[in-house]
Amino acid sequence: MFTRTSPSTGPGSPRVTGFYDKDSGSIMYVAVDEATKQAALIDIVLDFDPAHARTRTDSAQEVLDYVRDEGLTVAWILDTHPHADHMMASAWLKEQTGAPTAIGSKVRDIANLWSDLYNLPGVFDADRDFDRLFDHGDSFELGDLTVDVRLHPGHTLGSITYVIGDAAFVHDTFMHVDSGTSRADFPGGSSADLYASLMDILSLPDDTRLFVGHDYPPVGDRKDPAWEATVADHRANNKHLGGGVPEAEYRKLRDERDATLNLPDRMLYALQVNLRGGRLPQAESDGNSYFKIPANRF
């Protein structure tokens, strides 16, 4: 797996290692407080083969192997939103480490929306399936570091960003500088909300390292995945917003681009798992789990 580490820049700054999941284009993160060696695992992938509807834990295990080899203690298992393009490994990671799982509190609203789309009333219960649901403005500790939570909707109506010192995990808002920004056309998404979220992220200090949720190389001459750039880099050079693109122009670009995109091939499977905190649908009488896929709804 392709990995890259962004070192701590000093007291109050986490070391961040990213792990690239090629199948979904996702980046998984380990954020570390160097003083205490406590770690947060962010947006870790549960591998899924859609052709066979089969899950694996290879990627999550590779992250845990890194944690072990570095002598780290997992303090938090964090997700930024219920992902559409991969299943979250949070429940399995909790079984392995005992660390609490967390996501944004508006996942309750996302669950209600998807309960209707799947016609599965009462199945999703975020308060049951996550240990902590964060509101905008909440904060918590990672060793000696403080983690601040910001609500950044647009890609979903409940996406959140974790800001840890000079590092911000901005999920599916920005892409890498040379790729632009993320789509906003999923149920509950909004290009207007996404623009407001992007502007809020750009209000962070110029030297804040932004760690994005996805990359899909090759882009131009770049062949390797990339996921880190500063606020100043994005403000000046982001493909969709660099130089101060106004809201109306950005939303036109975003909405027109989104109209050409297919759904991720894992989406209708993944939401059933992610809205359960990374758990498969409840096993039926034969001991097996089954997915329910809505026909002709998208």
Q: What are 227-249's pLDDT values in tens digits?
A: 999 999 999 999 999 999 999 99
Cis status of the peptide bond prior to 218, with omega within 30 of 0: yes
- Helices 107-118, 267-274: axis angle to 10 degrees equals 130
Q: What are 254-277's pLDDT values in tens digits?
A: 999 999 999 999 999 999 999 999
pLDDT tens string for the chain (298 positions)? 999 999 999 999 999 999 999 999 999 999 999 999 999 999 999 999 999 999 999 999 999 999 999 999 999 999 999 999 999 999 999 999 999 999 999 999 999 999 999 999 999 999 999 999 999 999 999 999 999 999 999 999 999 999 999 999 999 999 999 999 999 999 999 999 999 999 999 999 999 999 999 999 888 888 999 999 999 999 999 999 999 999 999 999 999 999 999 999 999 999 999 999 999 999 999 999 999 999 998 8
Measured CA to CA, the distance from residue 64 to residue 132 in angstroms comes to 21
State the residue for tokens 């010192």.
165
Which of the listed CATH numbers 3.60.15.10, 1.10.10.10, 3.20.20.100, 1.10.3470.10 matches domain 7-262+270-274?
A: 3.60.15.10
Measured CA to CA, the distance from residue 145 to residue 138 in angstroms comes to 14
- At residue 205, the pLDDT reads 98
Two structure tokens written together for 13: 């700054």
Cβ partners under 8 Å of residue 162, min gap 6 = 31, 40, 42, 78, 80, 147, 148, 149, 168, 169
Phi, psi values for residue 214, rounded to 5°: -150, 155
- At residue 47, the pLDDT reads 98
Measured CA to CA, the distance from residue 276 to residue 114 in angstroms comes to 12
Q: Which of 162, 151, 46 is nearest to 107 (CA)?
A: 151
> What are 91-99's contacts with CB under 8 Å, separation 24+?
91/129, 91/276, 91/277, 91/278, 91/279, 92/46, 92/57, 92/60, 92/278, 93/41, 93/44, 93/60, 93/64, 93/278, 94/131, 96/64, 97/64, 99/41, 99/74, 99/75
- At residue 220, the pLDDT reads 85
Q: Which of 13, 12, 11, 17 is nearest to 211 (CA)?
A: 17
- At residue 218, the pLDDT reads 83
pTM flag (> 0.85): yes
- At residue 260, the pLDDT reads 97
